[in-house]
Amino acid sequence: MNFAIIVFPGSNCDHDCYHIIEHVLGRPATFVWHKEKDLSGYDVVILPGGFSYGDYLRTGSIARFSPIMKAVEDFAHKGGLVLGICNGFQILLEAGLLPGAMLRNRSLKFICNDVRLRVDNINTPFTVNYFENQVVRMPIAHAEGNYYADKDTLMRIQKNNQIVFRYAGDDGNISDKVNPNGSVNNIAGICNEKGNVLGMMPHPERCGEDVLGGTDGYILFESLVYYVEKIER
């Protein structure tokens, strides 16, 4: 199976995604420059973290006009798997591939540390290898991760089971105390209605090896391999 990693000007987790896919997961990954227009031949497209266009104006708001985004939209509409991590999630929101919007963290500060997440939906290609309600540990690193959606949208995504990851305590309890950025309903990651597009603020590519102190993120990539190589085919 083939992974594409989109490189926007200012992407900076592109190499980290490449590393975990090529060297840890052992699957081929290709960097795709944002000025390109073709995504045929790929099974998964990753929009990596970083500061595309310096996050100037608003996170993701300029990158969503990059030439490659038309191809990403087509790819997603045909059911292709799209994963947006951190800045990639912000770009997917700006592009309208996922509902809602991103606000600044309520502390108004950049936050980098490990958080606990509860996996609320294991019926997506990204999460099939997690257990139901499994509590996992992943790092976050962002200044704008305060996810917001209006009431109707929130109701809809809840009803459709689109909330995939929520910030949680060690015991899996969801409370404001364990919410690092103020996101509505402790949301850390959501998918689209069909479940083939996932956006998440935490960085699974940063916790895929023992040497980095945790491997909970590896399970997400492993899920994708399982889904594409075992279920889809």
Site for another protein in 130-159 (CB under 8 A): 139, 141, 143
Distance, CA of 50 to CA of 46 (rounded, Å): 12
C-alpha pair distances (Å), 151 with each of 90, 91, 100, 101, 105: 20, 22, 10, 13, 20
Stretches 45-53, 68-76, 90-98, 151-159: which one binds another protein (CB under 8 A)? Answer: 45-53
Contact status: 16 vs another protein (CB under 8 A): yes
Q: How far is the CB of 220 from another protein (least distance, A)?
A: 15
Distance CA(189)–CA(137), nearest Å, equals 14
CA 199 – CA 222 distance, rounded (Å): 17
User: Which residue lies nearer to another protein by CB, 33 or 131?
Assistant: 33
For another protein, the closer of residues 200 and 228 by Cβ is 200
Q: Which is nearer to another protein, 13 or 45 (CB)?
A: 13
Residue 155, both tokens:
């109701």
Q: Are 190 and 92 in contact (CB under 8 A)?
A: no
**Catalytic site residue 94?**
no
- 17 catalytic, yes or no? no
Site for another protein contains 84 (CB under 8 A): no
Q: Please identify every residue annotated as catalytic.
A: 86, 203, 205
